[in-house]
Structure 1
């Protein structure tokens, strides 16, 4: 089996967010430009908006 090359650990199987980024942790969105806080990645914030 081949290993899939991932440019950064931030892009492994997490929810997409921002501009081409992925959720790295609760409330954190990592994109090729770097990481920033993002409420779209915070499960508690998402639930509170229902």
Structure 2
């Protein structure tokens, strides 16, 4: 399905962006004192996949 392909592409993109963020936090020494929090409000659409 096209919806599933877009969903997995979005998850993959988010994963790469989080990885980049954590790399920068590690490189600058800020990761030890930094919280990274994700909150979502669209979990009710899972049945579409």
Which category of TM-score, normalised to the shorter sequence, fits these structures?
under 0.3
Q: Structure 1-normalised TM-score?
A: 0.23
Q: Structure 2-normalised TM-score?
A: 0.23
Q: Which has the higher helix share?
A: 2
Bigger-Rg structure (1/2): 2
